[in-house]
Structure 1
Amino acid sequence: MNNIKRNEHLLELLSDFPDGAKLSDILAKLETEVTARTLQRWLGGMTKQGLITIEGSARGTRYFTKAAEAAPDKETEKAQEILIPLSEQAKNALANVAVPIQQRPVVGYQQDFLKSYRPNIDSYLSKEEKKQLAEIGDNNVGAVAGTYAQQILNRLLIDLSWNSSRLEGNTYSLLDTQRLIEYGEADDQKSAKEAQMILNHKDAIEFLVQAAEEIGYNRYTLLNLHAMLANNLLPDPEAPGRLRSIAVGITGTSFTPLAIPQLIEKYFDLIMEKAGQILDPFEQSFFLMVHLPYLQPFDDVNKRVSRLAANIPMIKKNLAPLSFIDVPEDLYFKGVMAIYEQNDIHLLKDVYLWSYERSASRYRVIRQSLGEPDTFKLKYRTAIRELITTVIVKEIEHKNLAHFIRENAQAIDEQDREEFIKAVEQEIMSLHEGNFARYRVSPSEFRRWKENGR
């Protein structure tokens, strides 16, 4: 009997025990003799696949089928469909993943899904869709990478940190998130893990925006992105920023990710290579959202990496970022699940298109309220940021500030030097607890500088 048939047989046996079955109950029902240890191993594998659940421990352990789970909430699905219009292909994908998990085929990583994709020949997004996205992307802020994201950074840090964390089940409210990011005030009623998740997003977003000219579709960017998002959240302290070398399972899906480390590394590099070859930034973005979670290249935090990586093309090309505003958690995960189990991109694509239009509209309004950016500050934004960061970290006292700034401005072109010094001084004078995040310093560093340096 193969694994699939065996699992189906065990699920059928468990269905006779609505209150859960003991190991001895299952052994008594089996027609063939197996040891208790072997049966435990089979049931453990089914748990990892999300086919069954386990409650209790030792002799009190009971095994439950998930058959009763299921029928999708029709009212919820209808409400989500009104919110996000779905194509017929997306509706079919949604119907397929709504089937009880026991009735969905067990599948593994399909290598040809990635290998067969030909950049700039094949495309997940149609020409019309890419044209529509380009029209709403609001690219009119100049050629320096990261300019758009810099202009709305304070808002982006809160929006993207909150929405991406919310999609992971984080219970912080938008206002809680704002308080945590701007003032370092965590909610005492919520777990430290939730606060860590949000602060990790903040660090990762700042990394992408501040290093806009250096980031790309390479190991440096993706490994560091994962390291920041996974910081202090994984059992293995060496796992953040490292490709996966262990087998993993995903709860609630019949998909089993690739488990061979050499192949994980090979296809991770192939994802980066193909993404780098794609010319259209929106196709690049969606390609990363599809293939990073599907490969599961890291021990955990893969979907978070994919959501922030989807913003790399937006940041580099000065397009409105994608912050997943109002995206329904259930519909997003079913879109990802359709890729896992069917390699069907249509449901996630409809979520992506709707979400980008919503994000772009939001940031267009915000940018209009900000007015035109200072072109001089844009030209020297990196030098200004680095100098102010140094002032804070080194706790330069107010009485020594003018001399320190002038001394460090000697590398600036002589004709721009005085204007540069003036710009740095203005920025320092306007620093407060709600805007220091752009300089990539911690709340404690800013507080020490404010108390001791000034």
Structure 2
Amino acid sequence: MDGYLQLLHGLRSHPNARRSELAEILPERVSASTLKRWLAEAIGRGDAVACGRGKAVRYSLTPRSALLLPYDLDSYFSREDDARGGAKGFNFELVGVLGEIGSPFTPREVEELENLRILYQKRLASRSATENAVEMERLAIDLSWKSSQIEGNTYTLLETERLLKRREEAPGHSRDEAVMLLNHKRAMEFLIAQPDYLNPLTPRGIEDVHRLLVEGLDVDCGVRHHRVGIVGTSYLPLENEFQIREALAAACHLINQTESPFAKALYALVLLSYIQPFADGNKRTARIVANALLMAGGCCPLSYRNAEALGYKKAMVLFYEQGSLYSAKEIFVGQCRFAGETYF
């Protein structure tokens, strides 16, 4: 981690710090002039703000910088969850902050994503409806496999294809694994057939998608009314049903007020996972809802086929604990790029 990034992390862990305090907490010793230059650079870039005058000046990260602060996942997760200094509970200000930062993407990312959207539309227009349907089925199979694998499903991609195309269950796997895969494809087919079903996005619409994904599994439908824990983190989502519903409504409002379909999808991906409105199946629901928002905005849905399952889980936990979108956004943009290179 370079010195400037160390400074930003110091500001993240010690908000409203004086320059002398920052000099003491930085892991590597730096000269007063270097620290002064870094702070001026951080303010110039919009990464930090200063408050006060003279020696009493205090520095803090801007909300946007805190949300997009890069982390080294290997280093971060080398510590046990209790030693990572992450949030233990729900941040009620998070949705509001997301609404204030503007686009979560850099100008270069915005340009790349828009170019991918345009390319997708051109490819759709150049093919017949039948060809597009066949290609969408291929993407849905890849998505069903990978999304289920992230949740621990042990079907291979070839076994998944056989199941979804021929309804042939693979030996050596549980019935629940087959049902999980079939439900993914059914949810995607439902939203492809009704592209405006989640426009605008509502808690009820999200519940409907969840119901499709968990049908036939031993999972309660509807917003949960009890506490849940998440493996690998000390973060505990809300447990009060009314607060969960309020958080879900706030997330829907933010997403509906957001113009970019890519930003809508990214917010759905992380916020539904963060709120954990259901007893199980939250990340699955988030991925399908995010794809529905992409398709409604004329963008190619994502299969996550080449996403590394553990890296995906770590990116989500980082968002839960530190409120950093950085790693989740990297995965999202990478999967948009992969979809553009692989499908249609």
Q: Could you say whether these structures have the same fold, taking a TM-score greater than 0.5 normalized by the shorter chain as the test?
A: yes
User: Could you tell me whether the CA contact under 8 Å between 1:89 and 1:347 is conserved in 2?
Assistant: no
User: Could you tell me whether the CA contact under 8 Å between 1:166 and 1:172 is conserved in 2?
Assistant: yes
Residues of 2 paired with 1:353 and 1:294: CA distance? 19
Q: Does 1:224 align with 2:241?
A: no
User: Could you tell me whether the CA contact under 8 Å between 1:286 and 1:310 is conserved in 2?
Assistant: yes
Instruction: Note closer, same or farther for the CA distance 1:324–1:224 as it changes in structure 2 (3 Å cut).
Output: same
Instruction: Tell me the SS of whatever aligns to 1:107.
Output: coil
Deviation at 1:156, TM superposition (A): 2.0
Instruction: Note closer, same or farther for the CA distance 1:147–1:95 as it changes in structure 2 (3 Å cut).
Output: farther
Q: TM-score, normalised by structure 1?
A: 0.56
Aligned to 2:65: none
Aligned to 2:88: 107
Higher relative contact order (CA 8 A, sep 6+): 2
Aligned to 2:299: 319
Residues of 1 paired with 2:339 and 2:226: CA distance? 36
Residues of 1 paired with 2:299 and 2:317: CA distance? 28
Instruction: Tell me the SS of whatever aligns to 1:117.
Output: helix
User: Could you tell me whether the CA contact under 8 Å between 1:293 and 1:306 is conserved in 2?
Assistant: yes
Deviation at 1:186, TM superposition (A): 0.3
Q: Does 1:166 align with 2:146?
A: no
Instruction: Note closer, same or farther for the CA distance 1:300–1:148 as it changes in structure 2 (3 Å cut).
Output: farther
Aligned to 2:326: 346
Deviation at 1:215, TM superposition (A): 2.9
Q: Does 1:139 align with 2:121?
A: yes
Residues of 2 paired with 1:122 and 1:245: CA distance? 33
Question: Which residue, out of 190, 200, 223, partners 1:207?
Answer: 190
Q: Does 1:153 align with 2:136?
A: yes
Give runs of aligned pairs for residues 5-16 of structure 1, distance below 5 A: none
Aligned to 1:191: 174
Instruction: Note closer, same or farther for the CA distance 1:94–1:348 as it changes in structure 2 (3 Å cut).
Output: farther
Deviation at 1:136, TM superposition (A): 1.8
Aligned to 2:233: 253
Instruction: Tell me the SS of whatever aligns to 1:320.
Output: coil
Residues of 2 paired with 1:323 and 1:101: CA distance? 29
User: Could you tell me whether the CA contact under 8 Å between 2:268 and 2:289 is conserved in 1?
Assistant: yes
Q: Does 1:303 align with 2:283?
A: yes
Residues of 1 paired with 2:152 and 2:177: CA distance? 9
Deviation at 1:258, TM superposition (A): 0.8
Deviation at 1:93, TM superposition (A): 5.1
Q: TM-score, normalised by structure 2?
A: 0.73
User: Could you tell me whether the CA contact under 8 Å between 1:136 and 1:361 is conserved in 2?
Assistant: no
Instruction: Tell me the SS of whatever aligns to 1:214.
Output: coil
Structure 1: tracts of 5 or more residues without a match: 1-87, 368-454
Counterpart AA for 1:125? F
User: Could you tell me whether the CA contact under 8 Å between 2:198 and 2:293 is conserved in 1?
Assistant: no
Aligned to 2:106: 126
Deviation at 1:170, TM superposition (A): 1.0
- Percent identical: 29
Deviation at 1:362, TM superposition (A): 0.6
Give runs of aligned pairs for residues 23-42 of structure 1, distance below 5 A: none
Counterpart AA for 2:226? I
User: Could you tell me whether the CA contact under 8 Å between 1:264 and 1:297 is conserved in 2?
Assistant: yes
User: Could you tell me whether the CA contact under 8 Å between 1:196 and 1:232 is conserved in 2?
Assistant: yes
Deviation at 1:89, TM superposition (A): 4.5
Taking only aligned residues, the RMSD between alpha carbons, in angstroms, comes to: 2.2
Compare 89-98 and 268-277 and name the one that shifted more: 89-98
Counterpart AA for 1:175? L
